[in-house]
Every structure is written in C-alpha cells, then in structure tokens.
Amino acid sequence: MSLRAWARAARPLAHVNLAPPILLGQALAYAQTHTFDPVLAAVAFGFGALDHLVIVFGNDYADRDADAQARARTLVSGGSRVIPDGLIRASSLRAGALAAAIALLVGSAAAGAALDRPLLPAFALAALLLLHSYSFPPLRLSYRGFGEVVQGLGVGLVLPLLGWYAQTGELARAPYDAFAPLVVLGFAANALTALPDLDGDRRAGKRTWPVRRGDGRARRDALALSGLGLVLATQVGPALAPAWIALSVGPPALCAVLSLGWLRPERPVLPFVVLTAGAGPLLALGWSAALALGGASGP
C-alpha cells in the first residue's frame, strides 16, 4: 500500500461537495452578526476534512462489490476503486474509515469544550449516522432508493448548519430557509453522480435514481431539480441586491443551460453530470462571496 493509493482513496476532488456548504453557513452567520472568527472557521473546515475521509473510505468499503461491477472509474463516480484494483485491502480501508471517524468524534469533543461549542460532537454523530444509514446495513439507504435524501440532508442541512453554529454558537436564529436550495441541489447531485454507474448499479441491485427512472428521465429530473434549487436560492436567506443575486445564481445557471447540450441519453453522460452537479458548489461559493462582500441588506 502506497501513499499514492491512499491519496487516490481520499478522492480530494470530492471535497468540493463538503467545503462550499460549510463556507456558506459561515457566510450566512457573518451576514447576520458581522463577525468572523478564523479559528472557528478552521475548526469547521477541519470537521469537513475528517468527515470527507470517513465518507470516501466508508463508501468505498461498503460499495466494494458494486464498484467492481462498474464499467470504469470516472471523475465523479465509481469510487476510487482502490479495493477492486488491489491497491488497498478492504480491511485496511475499513480501518482508515474507523480511524477518521474516531478522530472526528474526539476532535469535535475537544474543540467543542475548548471553544464553547458543546454541540460539535452532536454534529459529528449526525454526520456518522447519515453515512452509516446511507452505506451500511441494516438501512443501507443508497441501495433502497433513499440515497438522494440522505445526501440532500447531509450537504444541504448538516454541513451549512455546522458552519453557522461554529461561528455563532447557537441554532435558534439559523436561517433554515436558506438551506432549502442546498438540500434540493444535494438530492439532484446524488442522482447525477449515479448516472455513469447506471449499468453496474443495476447489476448490483442498487436502486439509485437513474436505475429507477432510466437514463433519459433521470437526466431531465436532475436538471429540473437543479433549476428548482437555483430559483429557491433567489427567494430565501438574507435579502440581496439584484447584482449580488446575479453573482450567486448566474454561474450555476449558466452551467445548467450549457448542460442542455448533453440532455439526451444518447449523448455522453459525463459532461452533463459535471455541468449540472456543479450547480450546488457554485451556488454556495457565489452566495458566500455575495454575503461576505456586503451584499446582504437585511435579515
């Protein structure tokens, strides 16, 4: 087992799903409180990094049989394939996931005690429970047709709320309506990244959205949900001037429009997935920039 194999298993590109929602939660806190603590930000992003490792190692271990049936590993799907390719033993990857989970729990407890954020361990438990219910028995929701819901709740609610809580230390005044677009976009992203694995997931008995709906309808569904998420983003959260709304929604909307060229099922799936699944991270980044640069004009 080499460091290169572990770096591949860590799938750093997949962290684009976790860091932007955490950033947005902190930007929403800044828009309301006009304060920002870089130490607390580092804790929030450290939480995200450990959570990321638990997710990618745990999912690769849980999905090792299904990944072996996938046609190929792509930029956004198929896992890291370090187990099917014989680069890391399954038992070693499971140990890596457990070590990251323990580090997440212990680190959250220590940081929570030191920084007066006592609910940080609760966020760690929530993240671990979502992963376990997504990938592992007895629920194994990603195989039963509920993986989209779990991902939507994880990246759309738990992570931005963590960012908010890290900066504010409270939950009562969190802008829960602002998390709704991220939940919808997280749901769509799960369906999108399952598209390249459609054949392998069908053989493995994994009832993802594309398996249940078919390639063409799944593409249309995901694009429609992404559009819904972007429309919702213009209606919730702190009030923004039109220019800031354009900064937030414009880039992901452009990606959605460009993805229309790959909407038909006979067209290559990867460009469609990359363009459409990018809506969530791009929205979170643009929205964060708008809030941080002073775009918020009211609560």
What would the pLDDT profile of 224-245 be if each residue is shown by its tens digit? 999 999 999 999 999 899 999 9
pLDDT of residue 299: 44
Q: How many helices (H) and strands (E) does the chain have?
A: 16, 0
pLDDT of residue 289: 96
Supply 166's token pair: 């890290």
Cβ-Cβ contacts under 8 Å for 152 (sequence gap 6 or more): 182, 183, 184, 185, 186, 187, 190
**pLDDT tens-place string over residues 162-209:** 999 999 999 999 999 999 999 999 999 999 999 998 988 898 889 999
Within the chain, which residues score under 50 in pLDDT? Answer: 297-299
pTM: 0.94
Please state, in angstroms and as integers, the Cα–Cα distance from residue 214 to each residue in 145, 160, 195, following that order. 13, 31, 9
pLDDT of residue 298: 44
